[in-house]
């Protein structure tokens, strides 16, 4: 389902020096598989998610999702691929404050070639327990509810893979488990592969596969 091969990614620092971030020989996630990626701050977790999502292009290597090497696509092609095949849940939810819960989910459907499916947006919000709060704006929702909206938005286009970047980091302990359960359950129901980045040991302990980024990323390994 997801295959990363010979990935190299570096940034140019303000002084002109090259700063290597990723050096991954191979990284695979199977269809419907749920796994956790752990690593210390600055080890390149978010950069890796950006490379998988096609937000950043690796300096070299292959990023294959559902049999398609997205590094070969143009930027616009990667944007469309991301809209249709990849779901993304952010640590800070990233909901648009001027939009209601329903509109935020519909926004996730706007950038595909298909027309926005209001019924699916309602169904997803209902599934995450916000069926009664469709018209509420983010400011009127609790942080837990905001992350639920973000999860619903990420799944709106029936993606093949869901990337969750520390989705419980800004949520109180009581709500953390609910969010994790919600993400895992909905991914299971929709047969979506899940790559979740987290620092929380309680969350890690629930997954069968937990990868230490430092083990797969040569750059992080050297720094370690």
Partner 1 sequence: MLTGLSIALGTALVVIVLVVYGVVAESFRDAAQGYHLILGAKGGKLQLTLNTVFHLSQPIENIPYSFYKEFTEYKDADGRPTRGKYASAVEVAVPYCLGDSYQEFRVVGTTPDLFNKLSYGTFPDGTPKFYEFSAGKNFTADDFRGAVIGAVAAKKTGLQVGDHFPITHGLAEDEDAHVHEEDAFHVVGILRPTGTPNDRAVFVNMEGFYLIADHAKPVEAEDDEAEGPQATQIVQLREAKDSLQQLLERDTLSAEASTEIERIDGLLRTILGKLSPSKAEVKKSQSAGKSPDDVAGSADGGTTGGIAPLPENQREVTSVLLLLKNDVFSQILHNKINEGSVAQAVYPSREVAKLFEGIVGHVQTILLILAILVVVVAGVGVMVSMYNSMSDRSREIGIMRALGAARVTVMSIVLFEAILLAVLGGVAGVCLGHGTIGAFAPVITANTGVMINFWEWAPAIYLGGWSVSPELVLIPSLLLLAVVVGFLPAVVAYRTDVSRALSHSP
Using CB under 8 A as the binding rule, whether residue 117 contacts partner 1 is answered as no
Using CB under 8 A as the binding rule, whether residue 76 contacts partner 1 is answered as yes
Using CB under 8 A as the binding rule, whether residue 144 contacts partner 1 is answered as no
Q: Please pick, from the candidates 23, 36, 88, 130, the single residue that binds partner 1 as defined by CB under 8 A.
A: 88
Between CA 146 and CA 104 the distance in angstroms is: 10
Half-sphere exposure of 33 (CA within 13 A, CB side): 15
- Contacts of residues 81-86 at CB distance under 8 Å and 24 or more positions apart, as own/partner, are 81/54, 82/53, 82/54, 82/55, 83/111, 83/112, 83/157, 84/112, 84/113, 84/157, 84/159, 85/157, 85/159, 85/160, 85/161, 86/52, 86/53, 86/54, 86/159, 86/160, 86/161, 86/162, 86/163
Question: How many residues sit in the footprint of partner 1 (CB under 8 A)?
Answer: 24
Footprint (CB under 8 A) of partner 1, residues 150-189: 153
Q: Which stretch binds partner 1 (CB under 8 A): 13-21, 91-99, 194-202, 204-212?
A: 91-99
Q: Which stretch binds partner 1 (CB under 8 A): 17-25, 37-45, 63-71, 77-85?
A: 77-85
In the block, tokens 């359950």 appear at 185
Using CB under 8 A as the binding rule, whether residue 142 contacts partner 1 is answered as no
Q: Cβ closer to partner 1: 20 or 210?
A: 20
Q: Please pick, from the candidates 34, 44, 90, 219, the single residue that binds partner 1 as defined by CB under 8 A.
A: 90
Binding string, 93-112, against partner 1, x = CB under 8 A? -x-x----------xx-xxx
Using CB under 8 A as the binding rule, whether residue 66 contacts partner 1 is answered as no
Q: Please pick, from the candidates 60, 72, 92, 142, the single residue that binds partner 1 as defined by CB under 8 A.
A: 92
Burial class (CB in 10 A: 0-12, 13-18, 19+), 84: middle
| Element of type H or E holding 202 | helix 201-204
Kindly state the smallest distance separating residue 206's Cβ from partner 1, in Å.
Answer: 26
Between CA 26 and CA 103 the distance in angstroms is: 38
Token pair of 73 as six digits: 């696509």
Measured at the alpha carbon of residue 194, what is the angle toward residues 66 and 130, in degrees to the nearest 5?
120
Q: Which stretch binds partner 1 (CB under 8 A): 37-45, 74-82, 114-122, 181-189?
A: 74-82
Q: Contact residues for partner 1 (CB under 8 A)? A: 46-47, 50, 53, 55-56, 75-76, 79-80, 82-84, 88, 90, 92, 94, 96, 107-108, 110-112, 153
């Amino acid at each position: 389902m997801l295959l990363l091969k010979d990935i190299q990614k570096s940034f140019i620092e303000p002084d002109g020096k090259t700063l290597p971030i990723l050096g991954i020989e191979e990284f695979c996630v199977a269809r419907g598989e749920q796994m956790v990626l752990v690593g210390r701050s600055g080890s390149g977790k978010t950069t890796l998610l950006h490379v998988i999502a096609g937000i950043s292009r690796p300096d070299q290597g292959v990023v294959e999702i559902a049999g398609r090497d997205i590094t070969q696509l143009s930027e616009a092609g990667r944007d469309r691929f991301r809209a249709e095949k990849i779901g993304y849940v952010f640590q800070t939810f990233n909901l648009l404050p001027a939009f209601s819960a329903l509109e935020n989910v519909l926004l996730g459907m706007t950038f595909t070639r298909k027309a926005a499916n209001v019924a699916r947006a309602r169904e997803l919000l209902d599934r995450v327990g916000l069926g009664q709060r469709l018209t509420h704006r983010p400011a009127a929702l609790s942080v837990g509810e905001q992350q639920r909206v973000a999860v619903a938005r990420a799944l709106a286009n029936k993606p093949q893979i869901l990337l969750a970047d520390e989705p419980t980091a800004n949520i109180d302990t009581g709500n953390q488990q609910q969010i994790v359960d919600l993400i895992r359950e909905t991914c299971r129901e929709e047969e979506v592969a899940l790559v979740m980045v987290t620092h929380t040991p309680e969350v890690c302990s629930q997954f069968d596969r937990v990868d230490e980024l430092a083990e797969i990323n040569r750059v992080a390994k050297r720094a370690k």
